């Protein structure tokens, strides 16, 4: 839960992926991205990788490997910027690119690369509200460095290091995902430091044939590889999916409360949250979790218990009390998000699609 230029150019960035089914028979659709996300104030991110080679693919098989930053907003219009490499069968087969929301997430090609080349890429939010982008091919010596004011005025809170199953702009569906050599990100960092493992949210890619790709971390590097859902993963995802839908709706509603909001409306809007939170807590408490996540599950249960109390206020008669109540809620929401991301990281479990 989160509270708080080719003739047929593929659109990179945000997209949906194919549905896939776990061994338990549940259908999961994790999307078209595999790697990690980090949530917090983003001013700089970096990574290095070796351009993966397409080993086998249909004629239109396409993938991309990139780093990017995003700010809150609607999916198709939120500020977003990325830089990386694309890997596809069609000419040019391998190239460095960048893109952003203003360009509709379509790749702006920079120079050709080759499979096996070592790439380093960076994004930095510079003084004057502009993004400075750089991508270097250490193998060929090619380099592109430039700045843009696009998107720079927003408060970016999401850093990503991802492998993507690219969207076909003509059909709005994903291209076939090619068989690639392993994709490994090394020396990845945000705001000048290697992110703590518990601060990273795994992203999984769903592929046809009931397959998943996800990250496997080792120090300041990780590899995108075949992953599977464990029993603990599925239990957490099932519980979270039911709770997140209701909780996210409630968060949107409470953001609109004012001193003039009737107590009856507050109670009516809080009731579904309370109705979803109680079985969520009972479900978490009923599972025998792996030792590595047990303390975090206890922390999450405590946060939701405090949110339940806040979600049933006796009354909010003044603007001052509304403000104090909302601050208390968002403090608990931040605590929830921290525990939630840490649990997902230790399980290496993806977020359920809403």
Domain end residue (candidates: 203, 227, 251): 227
Q: Annotate 61-104 with DSSP letters as a single string.
A: -EEEEEEEEE-SS-TTTS-EEEEEEEEESSSS-EEEEEEEGGGT
Q: What is the mean pLDDT of residues 54-60?
A: 75
Residues 70 and 212 in one domain: yes
Q: Is residue 9 part of a domain?
A: no
Residue 311 confidence (pLDDT) above 90: no
The per-residue pLDDT for 58 is: 66
Q: Is residue 160 part of a domain?
A: yes
Q: Is residue 167 part of a domain?
A: yes
CA 189, chain centre distance (Å): 16
Number of domains composing the chain: 2
What's the CA gap between 99 and 115, in Å, rounded? 21
Residues 319 and 217 in one domain: no
Domain end residue (candidates: 199, 227, 255): 227
Residue 354 confidence (pLDDT) above 80: no
Domain end residue (candidates: 201, 227, 253): 227
Q: What is the pLDDT of residues 95-152, one digit of tens each?
A: 999 999 999 888 999 999 999 999 999 999 998 789 999 999 999 999 999 999 987 7
- Provide the domain limits for residue 105: 20-227
Residue 290 confidence class, pLDDT cut points 50, 70, 90? very high
Reported pTM: 0.84
Q: What is the pLDDT of residues 291-304, one digit of tens each?
A: 999 999 999 999 99
What's the CA gap between 70 and 78, in Å, rounded? 7
Residues 220 and 242 in one domain: no
The per-residue pLDDT for 2 is: 31
**Percent of the chain, pLDDT > 70?**
89
The per-residue pLDDT for 15 is: 35
- Mean pLDDT rounded to a whole number for the chain: 86
Q: Is residue 307 part of a domain?
A: yes
Q: Is residue 353 part of a domain?
A: no
Helices (H) and strands (E) counted in the chain, each on its own, are 4, 20
Residues 43 and 180 in one domain: yes
The per-residue pLDDT for 92 is: 59
Q: What is the mean pLDDT of residues 17-38?
A: 68
Residues 171 and 243 in one domain: no
Residue 73 confidence class, pLDDT cut points 50, 70, 90? confident
């Amino acid at each position: 839960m989160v509270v708080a230029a080719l003739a047929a150019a593929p659109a990179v960035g945000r997209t949906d992926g194919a549905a896939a089914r776990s061994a338990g028979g549940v259908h999961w659709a994790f999307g078209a991205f595999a790697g990690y996300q980090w949530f917090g104030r983003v001013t700089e991110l970096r990574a290095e990788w070796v351009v993966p080679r397409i080993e086998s693919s249909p004629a239109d098989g396409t993938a991309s490997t990139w780093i990017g930053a995003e700010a809150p907003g609607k999916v198709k219009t939120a500020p977003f910027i990325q830089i990386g490499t694309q890997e596809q069968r069609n000419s040019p087969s391998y190239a460095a690119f960048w893109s952003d929301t203003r360009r509709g997430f379509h790749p702006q090609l920079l120079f050709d690369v080759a499979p096996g080349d070592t790439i380093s890429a960076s994004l930095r939010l510079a003084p004057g509200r502009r993004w400075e982008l750089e991508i270097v091919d250490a193998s060929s010596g090619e380099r592109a460095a430039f700045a843009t004011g696009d998107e720079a005025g927003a408060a970016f809170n999401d850093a990503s290091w991802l492998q993507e199953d690219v969207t076909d702009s003509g059909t709005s569906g994903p291209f076939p995902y090619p068989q690639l050599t392993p994709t490994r990100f090394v020396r990845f960092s945000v705001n000048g430091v290697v992110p703590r493992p518990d601060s990273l949210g795994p992203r999984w890619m769903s592929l046809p044939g009931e397959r998943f790709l996800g990250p496997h971390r080792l120090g300041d590097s990780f590899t995108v590889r075949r992953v599977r859902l464990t029993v603990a993963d599925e239990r957490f995802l099932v519980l979270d999916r039911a709770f997140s839908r209701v909780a996210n709706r409630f968060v949107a509603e409470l953001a609109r409360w004012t001193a003039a909001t009737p107590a009856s409306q507050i109670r009516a809007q809080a009731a579904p949250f309370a109705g979803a939170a109680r079985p969520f807590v009972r479900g978490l408490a009923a599972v025998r979790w792996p030792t590595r996540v047990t303390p975090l599950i206890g922390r999450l249960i405590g946060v939701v218990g405090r949110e339940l109390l806040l979600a049933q206020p006796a009354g909010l008669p003044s603007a001052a009390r509304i403000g104090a109540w909302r601050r208390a809620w968002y403090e608990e929401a931040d605590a929830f998000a921290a525990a939630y991301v840490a649990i997902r990281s230790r399980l290496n479990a993806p977020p359920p699609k809403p």
